[in-house]
Amino acid sequence: MKAIVNGGNFDLCGDLSAVSLLFAAGMRPDASAIRALTRNDGNFSVSLEPAEVSSEEAAWVELLANGLTFDVTGLNPGPAAAQPEREHLFGLSEAADFAAWEAITITPGAHLAGGKTMFAVLRTLAWLGALLADLPHLQAIVWHPARAWNAPNYYRSGVQRWIEGGVFPGLGLTAISPTGGGSLMSEGLAVFIGQELVVSPELVRDRSEGTKFAMRLVNWLIENGRITESTSMIGPSGETLRLISDQNQQIVKVTASS
């Protein structure tokens, strides 16, 4: 029997609902650069600007998109936002001088304090990161829940395709990593559905094919929601898969049906 509901109640820290943009040293945008970008793009706007009476107060703006507000902090001339954790790289060289890059960060506004992990909020947050990818001197876009550092064009193209009705950008808004036991596990899926995905070793003997397989499952879970009861489904090669809700519904384990 299948029991799937949309959304989740995964308990996540508020700062995980964030996207950061990393710029070359000394090249972070100021409030005027954000205003100029919104004037050229009718999809979002500046809904609140600080009175520019001090550097500290001028270092943020509030953006409005899809009827939701988001704070952009770390703008010039104030101090940069803290760099987010770095675990997964997509389209970026491991030889890059990451430590020299300076961050601005987008987070849901104060009125969304109780809904930072609502699907509509996360989707709009990811989209804003893509819209701001036109800012000059941008080096990377970081999706905090997955600790995923993306090349700007990689992030923008993946998110825009999703917003326009395409597949979820699994490698970018989530990540897939091997575990010590030979499984593959997602990172970042929980912020969307309240659960991470674990694919059992017998399904991922080939790492490359296993990652593709896991990405199909991530996209399916994004479309269908969290798993509350064990269920079966047909895999991409016609095999029967068993999806098991485990660890107090914090993970979805996928195994080959016996």
Q: Which residue has the higher pLDDT, 239 or 36?
A: 36
Q: Are 137 and 23 in contact (CB under 8 A)?
A: yes
User: Tell me, what's the pLDDT at 8?
Assistant: 36
Show the tokens assigned to 239: 């095999």
Please give the Cα distance from 20 to 128 (Å, whole number): 10
**Distance from the Cα of residue 139 to its chain's centroid:** 17
- For residue 254, is it left (φ>0), alpha (ψ between -120 and 50) or beta? beta
Q: Render pLDDT for 10-20 as a digit per residue (tens, 0 to 9).
A: 334 335 799 99
Q: Is the pLDDT of residue 195 over 90?
A: yes
**Residue carrying the six token digits 């909020």:** 121
Please give the Cα distance from 159 to 137 (Å, whole number): 20
Nearest to 173 by CA among 220, 98, 123, 139: 123
Nearest to 251 by CA among 204, 177, 190, 175: 190
User: Tell me, what's the pLDDT at 6?
Assistant: 33
User: Tell me, what's the pLDDT at 116?
Assistant: 87
- Three-point CA angle 226, 204, 88, nearest 5°: 70
Q: Is the pLDDT of residue 58 over 70?
A: no
Q: Is the pLDDT of residue 143 over 90?
A: yes
Arithmetic mean of pLDDT, 118-124 = 96
Q: Are 206 and 178 in contact (CB under 8 A)?
A: no
Q: Render pLDDT for 197-238 as a digit per residue (tens, 0 to 9).
A: 999 998 988 888 889 999 999 999 999 999 988 888 887 778
Tell me the percentage of the chain whose pLDDT exceeds 70. 90
User: Tell me, what's the pLDDT at 11?
Assistant: 39
Q: Render pLDDT for 78-116 as a digit per residue (tens, 0 to 9).
A: 999 999 999 999 999 999 999 999 999 999 998 887 888
Arithmetic mean of pLDDT, 68-85 = 95
User: Tell me, what's the pLDDT at 56?
Assistant: 53
Q: Which residue has the higher pLDDT, 247 or 131?
A: 131
Q: Which residues make Cβ contacts (< 8 Å) with residue 173, sequence separation at least 6?
A: 126, 143, 145, 146, 148, 158, 159, 188
Q: Which residue has the higher pLDDT, 55 or 136?
A: 136
Helix, strand, coil abundance in the chain, percent, nearest 5: 30, 30, 40
Tell me the percentage of the chain whose pLDDT exceeds 90. 71
Q: Are 85 and 148 in contact (CB under 8 A)?
A: no
